[in-house]
């Protein structure tokens, strides 16, 4: 039987694996963060390091130290010996296996038992690029790539940076300040729109109060379906309407099936109980207090039915 090695894939794995040895050694040697696991993914590689959270300075420091050794093109050698012999040579992580072990030595930087494939020298790693760090249980997961992967991902990251800068009409190097300005403008506009919505809702609620007649017990019940408004707008409207004596607002939206039942305490009903009774019949979820309850229907088409049921139950 004949076989052949998929060389591009093999060389990629050699770059990632040797780069991992070197990066783990730098985290351990320079910052006291031992590696407890390694994953060679199809796109991204990760190591889990143990200890305090690696700061941005530590991540960059380990990356710079690893790349300096890569640029020096140090030899990567294979050594054989027992666990005791390798321990005397300063192996990074001791193992308890018996017999002769295989270890990978990066000259002057690392010695680690390993049976995987590795580059002949650090120069073949090309480059180590550390991307991000996140908490995983009690450890810290560091994402990185080496060699050809680093080149492809660096190019992809730059294209994303350039595209984002173009959308914000800025140069890539000014992207952070441009994004900060855009976020500040967004927050200002959000507050302005919210304030305008509240004022509009109060005005509409005042008009609605004038046209809503009193019932037999003196209460004024308004049932209204809104289109093209947010759930926040329902809240503003209901709050304004329910400020009046014995006022009850049964509100809903067609687009997303929001329901809001609100009352002035003098109305003497239970909006939370009313909402639950309606939802039991038409479906959906929600809850609230005696005077103010919100719900969400699975289908906005049921809004009219829900409000009709609520009004019928009140009467």
pLDDT on residue 3: 87
Q: What is the mean pLDDT of residues 243-265?
A: 93
Q: What is the mean pLDDT of residues 142-153?
A: 97
Architecture of domain 191-314: Roll (3.10)
pLDDT on residue 98: 80
In which band, very low, low, confident or very high, does the pLDDT at 230 lie, cut at 50, 70 and 90?
Answer: confident
Is the confidence at residue 9, as pLDDT, over 90?
yes
pLDDT on residue 169: 92
Q: Break the chain into its structural domains and give their ranges.
A: 7-167, 191-314
**Mutual orientation of helices 231-241 and 175-211 as an angle, nearest 10°?**
40
pLDDT on residue 34: 95
The rounded distance, in Å, linking the Cα atoms of 290 and 251 is 16
pLDDT on residue 152: 96
pLDDT on residue 214: 84
Distances, alpha carbon 135 to alpha carbons 22, 141, 142, in Å: 22, 6, 9
Residues in the chain: 315
CATH of domain 7-167: 3.30.980.10
- Beta-bridge mates of residue 217: none
In which band, very low, low, confident or very high, does the pLDDT at 217 lie, cut at 50, 70 and 90?
Answer: confident
Distances, alpha carbon 174 to alpha carbons 48, 155, 157, 163, in Å: 33, 18, 16, 13
More confident residue, 84 or 287: 287
pLDDT on residue 315: 79
In which band, very low, low, confident or very high, does the pLDDT at 99 lie, cut at 50, 70 and 90?
Answer: confident
Is the confidence at residue 74, as pLDDT, over 80?
yes
In which band, very low, low, confident or very high, does the pLDDT at 1 lie, cut at 50, 70 and 90?
Answer: confident
In which band, very low, low, confident or very high, does the pLDDT at 78 lie, cut at 50, 70 and 90?
Answer: very high
pLDDT on residue 213: 85
Q: What is the mean pLDDT of residues 175-203?
A: 94
The rounded distance, in Å, linking the Cα atoms of 223 and 310 is 9
In which band, very low, low, confident or very high, does the pLDDT at 81 lie, cut at 50, 70 and 90?
Answer: confident
Alpha helices in the chain (DSSP H): 7-31, 56-71, 83-88, 147-167, 175-211, 231-241, 271-282, 303-314
């Amino acid at each position: 039987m004949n076989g052949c090695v998929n060389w591009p894939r093999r060389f990629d794995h050699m770059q990632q694996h040797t780069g991992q040895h070197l990066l783990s050694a730098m985290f351990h040697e320079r910052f006291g963060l031992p590696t407890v696991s390694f994953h060679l993914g199809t796109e991204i590689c990760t190591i889990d390091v143990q200890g305090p959270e690696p700061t941005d300075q530590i991540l960059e420091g380990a990356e710079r130290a690893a790349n300096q050794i890569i640029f020096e093109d140090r030899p990567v050698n294979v050594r054989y010996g027992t666990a005791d012999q390798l321990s005397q040579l300063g192996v990074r992580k001791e193992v308890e296996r018996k017999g002769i072990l295989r270890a990978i030595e990066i000259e002057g930087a690392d010695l680690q038992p390993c049976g995987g494939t590795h580059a002949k020298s650090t120069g073949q790693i090309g480059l180590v690029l550390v991307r991000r760090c996140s908490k995983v249980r009690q450890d810290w997961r560091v994402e990185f790539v080496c060699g050809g992967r680093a080149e492809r991902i660096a190019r992809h990251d730059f294209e994303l940076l350039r595209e984002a800068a173009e959308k914000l009409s800025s140069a890539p190097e000014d992207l952070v300040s441009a994004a900060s300005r855009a976020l500040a403008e967004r927050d200002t506009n959000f507050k302005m729109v919210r304030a305008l919505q509240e004022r509009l809702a109060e005005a509409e609620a005042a008009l609605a109060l004038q046209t809503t007649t009193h019932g037999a017990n003196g209460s004024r019940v308004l049932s209204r379906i809104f289109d093209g408004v947010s759930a926040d707008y329902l809240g503003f409207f209901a709050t304004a309407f329910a400020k009046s004596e014995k006022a009850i607002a049964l509100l809903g939206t067609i687009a997303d099936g929001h329901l809001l039942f609100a009352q002035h305490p003098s109305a003497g009903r239970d909006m939370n109980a009313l909402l639950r009774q309606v939802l039991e019949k038409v479906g959906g979820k929600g809850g609230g207090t005696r005077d103010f309850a919100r719900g969400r229907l699975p289908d906005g088409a049921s809004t009219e039915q829900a409000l009709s049921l609520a009004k019928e139950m009140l009467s």
